[in-house]
Amino acid sequence: MKLTLAEAETLVVDALNRSGVDEANARSVARALVAAEAAGQGGHGLRRVEAYSAQARAGKVDGRARPQASRPMPGVLTIDAMNGYAYPALDLAVEMLPGMAREQGIAIATIHRSHHAGVMGLTVARFAERGLAALMFANAPASMAPWGGNKALYGTNPIAFAVPIEDGEPIVVDLALSKVARGKIMAARQKGEAIPDDWAFDADGQPTTDANRAMDGFMAPLGGAKGAALAMMVEILSAGLIGANYAFEASSLFDDKGPPVALGQTIIAIDPTATGGPGVFSRLALLADEIGAQEGARIPGRRGQALSRSAEAEGVVIDDEVVAAIRAIA
């Protein structure tokens, strides 16, 4: 079914409102999920509404929470998401952190007692649109074993980065440290589709093409031992250093069972003019131009940006069963 972005947003808001989420939080969540769909990231889009709504009804996430911010040091912003959705807390970071970064040259925001961080490339791009470079780290419930281990200890633990360039859209890097994002396996399970045999392992540590067995097992790390080491680094940056739950302490994001997930996110914002001077954006554009000049090469972020522009003009196509499930809630 094809929906305009406004129609898709209204659909999500209605479902969340019916599940006890207040208007402001529902609108924040809906904007993020619809933006994910528009950017071609359906695993982080409207397929999440059922679980988000069920968690609000069960009290696993507080749909009426208001994130609380403090500045313990001039360059440090700490945000307690109050066991609500991550998106209102991320909105608050986008509101407050840019001014701090311009004052200091660099600033950091940490978010604890948080929820699913969604498509982090969309969050860091919001900083790039404000003239800043941004790095973001987030942990997720345990789904990946340390290298050589056989028990899930880390999440897929994505890293995202964005930087503005002169006369062009920002460069945006967004990657999970598992072979693929777990949302892709969730989407395959919902569709009843098989997955490639190098995406995940079953509970016995054997490669599997069965999405159900993969969800009960653990993810394959990106780049083997190197990916597992980076996942540990993200676990430290987004949990150990900021007081959030480690991945192995968090309950699932895919059901309404257990306590709040209480995950963490960390964002570092940099004023490029403080580090590179007034000509920094043209220097960054030079690198993008050199990449784009190579046949077959792609500047990171361009595919999602093109899809988002198309969705703004033409709407998004959502699977009928997803729309039906959301309407049943609403």
Q: Measured on CA atoms in the order 300, 303, 308, 313, is the torsion positive or negative?
A: positive
Residue 267 has pLDDT above 80, yes or no: yes
Mean pLDDT of the chain: 95
- Specify the pLDDT at position 330: 87
Neighbours of 79 (CB within 10 A): 26
Q: What letters, b where the CB count within 10 A reaches 16 and e where it falls short, cover 230-265?
A: bbbbbbebbbeebebbbbeebbbbbebeeebbbbbb
What letter would DSSP give residue 181?
A: -
Q: In whole angstroms, give the CA distance from residue 205 to residue 301.
A: 34
Of residues 141, 171, 146, the one with CA closest to residue 157: 141
Residue 181 has pLDDT above 80, yes or no: no
- In angstroms, the Cα distances linking 149 to 62, 152, 160, 208 are 35, 8, 26, 17
Q: In whole angstroms, give the CA distance from residue 271 to residue 131.
A: 7
The two three-digit tokens of residue 191, written as one number:
């569709």
Which residues are registered as beta bridge partners of 163?
171
Q: What is the DSSP string of 61-81?
A: S-TT---EEEEEETTEEEEE-
Q: In whole angstroms, give the CA distance from residue 305 to residue 83.
A: 31
Phi, psi of 133 (to 5 degrees): -85, 145
Of residues 229, 35, 51, the one with CA closest to residue 121: 35
Backbone dihedral region for residue 85 (phi beyond 0: left; psi -120 to 50: alpha; all else: beta): beta
- Specify the pLDDT at position 220: 86
Q: In whole angstroms, give the CA distance from residue 238 to residue 241.
A: 7
Mean pLDDT, range 119-128, rounded to an integer: 98
- Specify the pLDDT at position 195: 95
- In angstroms, the Cα distances linking 234 to 172, 209, 264, 310 are 18, 27, 10, 33
Percentage with pLDDT > 70 across the chain: 100
- Specify the pLDDT at position 11: 98
Mean pLDDT, range 266-279, rounded to an integer: 97
Mean pLDDT, range 323-330, rounded to an integer: 95
Mean pLDDT, range 303-326, rounded to an integer: 96
Mean pLDDT, range 25-32, rounded to an integer: 98
Least confident range from 25-39, 53-67, 134-148, 231-245: namely 134-148
- Specify the pLDDT at position 232: 96
- Specify the pLDDT at position 219: 87
The torsion angle over the Cα atoms of residues 21, 62, 191 and 144, rounded to 10 degrees, is 160
- Specify the pLDDT at position 57: 98
Of residues 252, 254, 271, 270, the one with CA closest to residue 262: 252
Least confident range from 144-148, 211-215, 295-299: namely 144-148
Q: In whole angstroms, give the CA distance from residue 29 to residue 47.
A: 13
- In angstroms, the Cα distances linking 173 to 34, 170, 177 are 20, 10, 13
Which residues are registered as beta bridge partners of 136?
160, 267
- Specify the pLDDT at position 33: 98
Q: With bands split at pLDDT 50, 70 and 90, how would you rate the model's confidence at 203? A: confident
Residue 183 has pLDDT above 80, yes or no: no
- Specify the pLDDT at position 205: 82
- Specify the pLDDT at position 319: 94
Which residues lie below 8 Å from residue 26, measured CB to CB, with a gap of 6+?
12, 13, 16, 17, 63
